[in-house]
Amino acid sequence: MAHSSKTTTANSGPSPFAATPLDLSDPALLRGFSYIGGRWTAGAQSKTFAVSNPADGSHLGDVASLSADDSRLAVDAAQSAFGVWSKLLPQQRSKILRRWFELILENAHDLARIMVLEQGKPISEARGEIDYAASFVEFFAEEAKRPNIESVTSHLPDAEVEVWREPVGVAALITPWNFPAAMLTRKAAAALAAGCTVVAHPSAETPYSALALAELAERAGFPAGAFNVVTGVAPVVVEPWMEDRRVRAVSFTGSTEIGRLLYRQSADTVKRMVLELGGHAPFLLFADANLDQAVAEAVKAKFATSGQDCLGANRFFVERPVYEDFCKAFAEAASQLSVGIGMDDPDIGPLMNEKAVAKQEEHVADALARGARLLTGGKRHKAGKLFYEPTVLADVPADALIMQEETFGPVAAIAAFDTEEEALTRANNTEYGLIAYLHTQDPRRIYRASRALQFGMVAVNRTKVTGAPIPFGGMKQSGLEREGSRLGMEAFTEVKYVCRDWA
């Protein structure tokens, strides 16, 4: 594995790591060591874990699996760097973040290729994610120069009062496998812009994207220890951070189950928590909507990222007068989607692992056993063992598993409704509250439904709504706080009130 001459590793002698050549323009972006305190390290024990291509199971390489002690060293490095990074002028932090943004765009081709081979998504989606990831770095590079300093009129005689925002300290970032670049930059750029230093743990299934971003961060000029990436087994790496009082904020994207666990673990040290958890999004289609447009948007809402997206529509509620027409058109559109390996740029790539495919099979079998109709798909695809056919189920009862749980794959469940009240009640009947999709042409209904839907985001007559300037996040058990926008920096700052007597 290539290493630049300016970096060193924790161990001398031959590297125990191997990686399959990925035909990169810059082979140095393919890193197998963790990045701690400005050094590439295999950890004290030089343990590794294997990374494979989900499309064909081929071995991509071996990546450092660090110990709990190594993880604590990352906090040491971040804590040491905090005194340097937080004292830089906002304009200086902005300049370094801006350079990171530029390097990400300059290396977009390689970053997208790395992502396809370790995550499986179609190459066009991978390119889109790199642009999306870079947009957060650009946005927070600008926000770094505009900290939200509030002014308060004094209520005391002869006293001057001010309210400041200051960085909390070390922030721990835990990112998922479905968006391995964007979820890291959305968190890291906000924390770094606020003046925090970070320790990041990427999913063991997709570590190479995060390590490539660390390589570019080093080139951008971040001080040693400001940005650290620690690879390995999640509990081993993360638990020391949850116990460490120096880690003042934790940002996690992943399952609600793990989010609850981290929330409990944060209590003893009272950490700031940013949680972006499950979605289970409803898609509400009223009879007055543009049916062709709704079908096209439904395909996007369900099948982007092969359905492996917390924003993915999971429950389709369709008003009865257009129910059969929608079912027929949606199933036809789904059946036409191409399935294949990411570098061939299909519509649907492989799922991440066997567990993900088994969940599709379980949900489909359960729905059919409860009386649902299979309109298309319903089994593994011939492309490989981790591929699943785009699947549409109609007449799915409310007690089916797929109506209760996030499927996180290319399976859509449709049910009919008769009244607006029924549709909204069924949409809200979930512990999740990330995003809801609404299709109707009635402006009064748009207002009523947008108000009534218990979701942090509502997409009306469209699917794409996310971006760096918007506050991304959910209600109920879909999470806490917001990412992106100016609000994305707030969890990484403390409010300090100062009252001075000038008399």
Active site residues: 276, 310
Q: Tell me, what amino acid is at 304?
A: A
Nearest residue to 195 (alpha-carbon basis) of 290, 342, 87, 341: 87
Distance CA 225, CA 207 (A): 19
Under 8 Å between Cβ of 152 and 161: yes
SS3 49: strand
Report strand pairing: 391-394 vs 197-201. unpaired
C-alpha distances out from residue 182 to 126, 129, 334, Å = 10, 6, 27
Q: CA-based Rg of the chain, rounded to a whole angstrom?
A: 24
C-alpha span between 168 and 194 (Å, rounded): 9
SS3 435: strand
Distance CA 78, CA 89 (A): 18
Single-letter amino acid code for the residue at 19: A
Which residue, chain included where needed, has tokens 């993880």?
Answer: 71
| Nearest Cα residue to 222 out of 254, 246, 189 | 189
Q: Is the dihedral of CA 376, 377, 382, 386 positive or negative?
A: positive
d(CA 366, CA 89): 58
Q: How far is CA 255 from CA 69, 182, 261, in A?
A: 26, 17, 10
